[in-house]
């Protein structure tokens, strides 16, 4: 239906920038955190 198509288009436009912002803000917030140590198998 046209409503479903409109909803899909809106979410397709909004989600990628929001996800990118979320990832970059997390990287910035935890930039000084030490790396995880490897776990012996």
Residue 33 CA to residue 26 CA, distance in Å, equals: 11
Does the pLDDT of residue 40 top 80, yes or no? no
pLDDT tens digits, one per residue of 2-26: 999 999 999 999 999 999 999 999 9
Residue 16 has what pLDDT?
A: 96
Residue 38 has what pLDDT?
A: 86
pLDDT, average across residues 21-40: 93
Residue 36 has what pLDDT?
A: 87
In our burial notation (b when 16+ CB lie closer than 10 A, e otherwise), range 11-40 reads eeeeeeeeeeeeeeeeeeeeeeeeeeeeee
Does the pLDDT of residue 37 top 90, yes or no? no
Q: How many helices (H) and strands (E) does the chain have?
A: 1, 0
């Amino acid at each position: 239906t046209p409503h479903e198509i409109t909803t899909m288009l809106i979410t397709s436009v909004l989600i990628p920038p929001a996800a990118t912002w979320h990832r970059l803000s997390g990287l910035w917030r935890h930039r000084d955190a030490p790396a995880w140590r490897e776990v012996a198998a």
